[in-house]
């Protein structure tokens, strides 16, 4: 009976997209990860001259103005290297934790040193420039949303179009050559972790939709790019390889499939991946909420937080499909909330982190997790703890205006 109900539910959403349903439910910005209701609330607080929000906006606008003034654009065409395909429009990178083998004259094949980043990684510019596309597009789009000044939307549009749409500079919608290992391969499914933040570009495009600088045709063209990328993600051998990963790579694969499915109105794919994500919770978590695959890493704190933030993003995305993952429990009682509760004593220094951590502990992701939890679980104690553990990160303009 449960399977029959799910099939009927899936058929319903196949004909009426999740995005369409969300758009009819409220008048908030129709962003898919950024919470539209929170953006609107903060906008209203700015109108009322709220001191904290006003200071955050001023800081955000300083960042946005620097971006506009610099007029820097990013493209896969900027790299000096050429992928194995012979087409520089194809994204490429090397595995960050892979190093020359000192026992081999040519160093090949490279060997893995988990958590130790090889500086050679930065010689290929694609991953770094993609990160800047996400950062700049998001900053500019938020600046436009809160001020309605078209200069911000205009440059956000240029940033997005240069990377995704313009024929001379755009990235091909694949990651065939991501995180290659010299001497072993030209690309791996593992490389897909580098596109895990592209939902930020989607939200940025949604926020500038009403501007004079981002047309309906632009929006449709971006949807086409992400639809093509989604097809590659779910049908290519490399995409399927990443789909089978059991740690944070699997989590962020789900985040990508769900977000691109929602944005491109391919709701059947998004819904199916939400079900897969539920299975990931079952396989990735212990009953106490700990994450054994992440705790086994040399940067266990980083990966535990990174994976938990992936859970939170997936739960936000599922809201677009009217599905509550915030309170979902597996058959064994595993849940996102349990994963958060397991981490809390370590955040609050009530317990010492006893797992391997070769770098200093940071709280950037932790603060975002706690601020989200404060909203989703209606518990201001999470927000109080976020400020306590890292007030500098807590006061960042994004963390003040998007939560």
**Distances in Å between the alpha carbon of 342 and those of 15, 282, 291, 334, 347?**
40, 16, 9, 11, 10
Instruction: Pull the structure tokens for residue 273.
Output: 């991946």
pLDDT value of position 350: 97
Instruction: Give the mean pLDDT of 234-261.
Output: 98
Q: Count CB-CB contacts under 10 A for residue 251.
A: 28
Contact 45, 400 (CB under 8 A): no
Instruction: Give the mean pLDDT of 93-101.
Output: 98
Closest CA to 194 of 241, 237, 249, 156: 249
First to last CA, the chain: 39
pLDDT in tens, 301-344: 999 999 999 999 999 999 999 999 999 999 999 999 999 999 99
pLDDT value of position 22: 39
pLDDT in tens, 131-167: 999 999 999 999 999 999 999 999 999 999 999 999 9
Q: Is 71 exposed, middle or buried (0-12, 13-18, 19+ CB in 10 A)?
A: exposed
CA–chain centroid gap for 112, Å, is 25
Portion of the chain with pLDDT greater than 90, in percent: 93
Tell me the pTM.
Answer: 0.93
CA–chain centroid gap for 261, Å, is 14
pLDDT value of position 25: 45
Contact 387, 381 (CB under 8 A): no
The vertex-275 CA angle with 270 and 280, nearest 5°, equals 115
Whether residue 2 has pLDDT greater than 90: no
pLDDT value of position 221: 98
Largest CA distance in the chain: 67
Confidence of residue 95 (pLDDT cuts 50, 70, 90): very high
Confidence of residue 18 (pLDDT cuts 50, 70, 90): very low
Portion of the chain with pLDDT greater than 70, in percent: 94
Q: What is the pairing mode between strands 92-94 and 177-180?
A: parallel
């Amino acid at each position: 009976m449960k399977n029959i109900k799910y099939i009927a539910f899936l058929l319903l959403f196949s004909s009426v997209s999740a995005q369409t349903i969300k758009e009819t439910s409220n008048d908030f910005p129709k962003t898919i990860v950024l919470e539209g209701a929170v953006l609107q609330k903060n906008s209203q607080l700015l109108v009322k001259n709220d001191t904290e929000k006003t200071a955050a906006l001023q800081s955000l606008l300083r960042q946005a103005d620097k971006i506009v003034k610099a007029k820097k654009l990013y493209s896969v065409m900027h790299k000096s290297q050429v992928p194995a395909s012979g087409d520089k429009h194809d994204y490429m990178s090397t595995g960050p934790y892979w190093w020359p083998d000192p026992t081999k004259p040519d160093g090949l094949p490279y060997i893995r040193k988990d958590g130790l980043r090889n500086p050679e990684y930065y010689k290929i510019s694609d991953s770094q420039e993609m990160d800047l596309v996400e950062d700049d597009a998001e900053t500019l789009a938020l600046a436009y949303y809160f001020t309605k000044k078209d200069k911000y939307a205009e440059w956000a549009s240029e940033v997005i179009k240069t990377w995704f749409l313009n024929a001379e500079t755009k990235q091909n919608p694949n990651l065939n050559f991501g995180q290659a290992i010299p001497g072993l391969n030209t690309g791996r499914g593992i490389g897909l972790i580098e596109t895990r933040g592209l939902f930020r570009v989607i939200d940025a495009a949604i926020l500038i939709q009403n501007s004079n600088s981002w047309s309906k045709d632009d929006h449709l063209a971006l949807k086409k790019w992400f639809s093509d990328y989604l097809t590659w993600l779910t049908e290519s051998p490399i995409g399927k390889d990443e789909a089978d990963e059991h740690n944070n790579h699997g989590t962020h694969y789900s985040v990508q499939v769900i977000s691109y499915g929602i944005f491109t109105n391919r709701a059947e794919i998004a819904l199916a991946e939400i079900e897969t994500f539920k299975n990931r919770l079952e396989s990735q978590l212990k009953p106490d909420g700990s994450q054994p695959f992440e705790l086994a890493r040399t940067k266990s704190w980083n990966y535990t937080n990174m994976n938990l933030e992936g859970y939170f993003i997936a739960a936000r995305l599922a809201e677009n499909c009217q599905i509550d993952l915030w309170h979902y429990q597996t058959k064994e009682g595993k849940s996102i909330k349990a994963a958060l509760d397991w981490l809390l004593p370590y955040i609050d220094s009530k317990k010492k982190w006893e797992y391997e951590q070769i770098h200093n502990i940071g709280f950037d992701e932790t603060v975002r997790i706690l601020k989200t939890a404060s909203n989703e679980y209606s518990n201001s104690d999470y927000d109080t703890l976020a400020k306590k553990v890292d007030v500098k990160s807590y006061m960042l303009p994004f963390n003040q205006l998007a939560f």
